[in-house]
């Protein structure tokens, strides 16, 4: 890993240079308080101060609706997809980069998911540091820093970005305009360390994750699940905005007139009543408390057992989005009481 500095007023030049060589995706303001990742057009539209987008950047790698293949009336299979150019996503915060790492694990478990990886391999990532708001939980989830997946990471200081270059792709991007980058001065290194400490002290939302996976298993029959499931609307919003939820449904869309068919996968949500509905009308998780509890157990216990870490990055999207005001921190605190 190499470190450089980039003057803040030279960032537009860097992004312009990157956009000339790669398809560049950046965070932009969408509504009065909402943000989204979009194709880069001009630097003035790039949001550097956003906390989180509504939908995480997983939408590019694991699209909400995706054609898997089509078959014509002669049963010829077409599994091609719109071959997008190699893209760089700029402005990813540590939690969302952790989210991509979690998706990588999920879509490699028991064999590589070729539909996921054919897109994933066409993305590079430029991370950007951030400051926490009242929903950020990444410190508790140990995802407030990232040392993997990204190609370049920019840590915001007063006048410059401290630039961490992790991969050959990151090095290639720097070489597009090498004059913009300098070796960090001693004062800048000190400022970088101070900034990390200041940011660390700004977290107001803390969740006790000690032995959480075991605790949730032991509290399988706790009345809390019933209580919160009466409040939950089972709208699935918490799942749709989560950077690590990766459940999908696969269905066929036949065209009877043409004699062809399309196989599609689309995001699904374990909170939905028909998620575990199978042929014959049996539902493995039809009850409200079971569905509410499952999401917590899967994130903390199930995924953790398979991959050695929980599948929550503490991004805060679910708590900010929930129309019923259900907050994971509160649920866990109540379970610990
Ligand atoms: S967003 Fe809130 S109300 Fe909707 S399913 Fe999730 S926990 Fe329930
Ligand atoms: S569970 Fe909530 S806080 Fe955790 S990664 Fe998903 S949306 Fe973010």
pLDDT in tens, the chain (337 residues): 899 999 999 999 999 999 999 999 999 999 998 999 999 999 999 999 999 999 999 999 999 999 999 999 998 999 887 778 999 999 999 999 999 999 999 999 999 999 999 999 999 999 999 999 999 999 999 999 999 999 999 999 999 999 999 999 999 999 999 999 999 999 999 999 999 999 999 999 999 999 999 999 999 999 999 999 999 999 999 999 999 999 999 999 999 998 999 999 999 999 999 999 998 999 999 899 999 999 999 999 989 888 888 999 999 999 999 999 999 999 999 999 8
Q: How far is the CA of 37 from the centre of ligand 1 (A)?
A: 24
Q: How far is the CA of 148 from the centre of ligand 1 (A)?
A: 31
Maximum Cα–Cα distance across the chain: 71
Q: Spell 294-314 as b/e; 16+ CB within 10 A means b.
A: bbbbbbbbbbbeebebbbbbb
Q: Are strands 248-255 and 35-39 parallel, antiparallel or unpaired?
A: unpaired
pLDDT at 180: 98
Q: Are strands 23-29 and 87-92 parallel, antiparallel or unpaired?
A: parallel
Of all protein residues, the one whose alpha carbon is nearest to atom 5 of ligand 1 is 234
pLDDT at 251: 92
Pocket of ligand 1 (CB under 6 A): 232-238, 271, 321-324, 326
Q: Is 325 exposed, middle or buried (0-12, 13-18, 19+ CB in 10 A)?
A: exposed
Cα–Cα distance between 155 and 129 in angstroms, integer?
5
Task: Return the ligand number nearest the Cα of 327.
Answer: 1
Q: Is 170 in the pocket of ligand 2 (CB under 6 A)?
A: no
Question: Euclidean distance between the first and final Cα of the chain, in Å?
Answer: 44
Atom of ligand 1 nearest to the CA of 233: 3
Atom of ligand 2 nearest to the CA of 99: 5
pLDDT at 286: 86
pLDDT at 2: 92
Q: How far is the CA of 214 from the centre of ligand 1 (A)?
A: 24
**How does DSSP classify residue 178?**
G
Q: How far is the CA of 114 from the centre of ligand 2 (A)?
A: 25
Reading the block at residue 66, the tokens are 């995706």
**Closest by Cα among 207, 231, 241, 167 to 328:** 207
Task: Return the ligand number nearest the Cα of 322.
Answer: 1
pLDDT at 316: 97
Q: Spell 227-266 as b/e; 16+ CB within 10 A means b.
A: ebbeebebebbbbbbbbbbbebeeeeeeeeeeebbebbbe
């Amino acid at each position: 890993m190499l470190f450089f500095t980039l003057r803040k007023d030279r960032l537009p030049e860097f992004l312009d240079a990157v956009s000339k060589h790669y398809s560049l995706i950046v965070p932009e303001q969408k509504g009065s308080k909402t943000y989204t990742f979009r194709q880069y057009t001009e630097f003035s539209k790039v949001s550097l101060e956003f906390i989180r987008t509504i939908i995480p950047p997983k939408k590019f790698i694991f699209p909400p609706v995706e054609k898997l293949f089509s078959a014509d009336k002669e049963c010829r299979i077409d599994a091609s997809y719109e071959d997008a150019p190699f893209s760089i996503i700029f402005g990813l915060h540590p939690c969302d980069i952790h989210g991509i790492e979690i998706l990588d694990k999920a879509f490699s478990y028991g064999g590589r998911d070729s539909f996921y990886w054919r897109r994933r391999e066409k993305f590079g990532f430029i991370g950007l540091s951030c400051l926490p708001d009242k929903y950020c939980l990444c410190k508790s989830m140990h995802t407030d820093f990232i040392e993997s997946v990204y190609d370049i990471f920019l840590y915001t200081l007063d006048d410059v970005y401290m630039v961490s270059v992790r991969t050959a792709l990151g090095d290639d991007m720097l070489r597009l305009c090498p004059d913009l980058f300098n070796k960090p001065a001693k004062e800048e290194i000190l400022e970088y360390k101070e900034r990390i400490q200041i940011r660390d002290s700004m977290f107001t939302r803390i969740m006790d994750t000690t032995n959480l996976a075991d605790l949730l298993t032991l509290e399988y029959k706790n009345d809390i699940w019933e209580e919160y499931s009466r409040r939950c609307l089972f709208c699935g919003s918490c799942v749709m905005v989560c950077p690590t939820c990766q459940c999908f449904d696969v269905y066929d869309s036949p065209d009877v007139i043409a004699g062809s068919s399309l196989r599609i996968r689309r995001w699904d949500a374990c909170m939905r009543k028909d998620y575990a509905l199978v042929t014959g009308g049996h539902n493995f998780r039809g009850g409200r408390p079971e569905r509410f509890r499952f999401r917590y157990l899967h994130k903390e216990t199930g995924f953790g057992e398979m991959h050695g870490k929980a599948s929550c990055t503490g991004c805060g999207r679910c708590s900010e989005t929930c129309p019923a005001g259900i907050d994971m921190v509160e649920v866990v605190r109540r379970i610990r009481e």
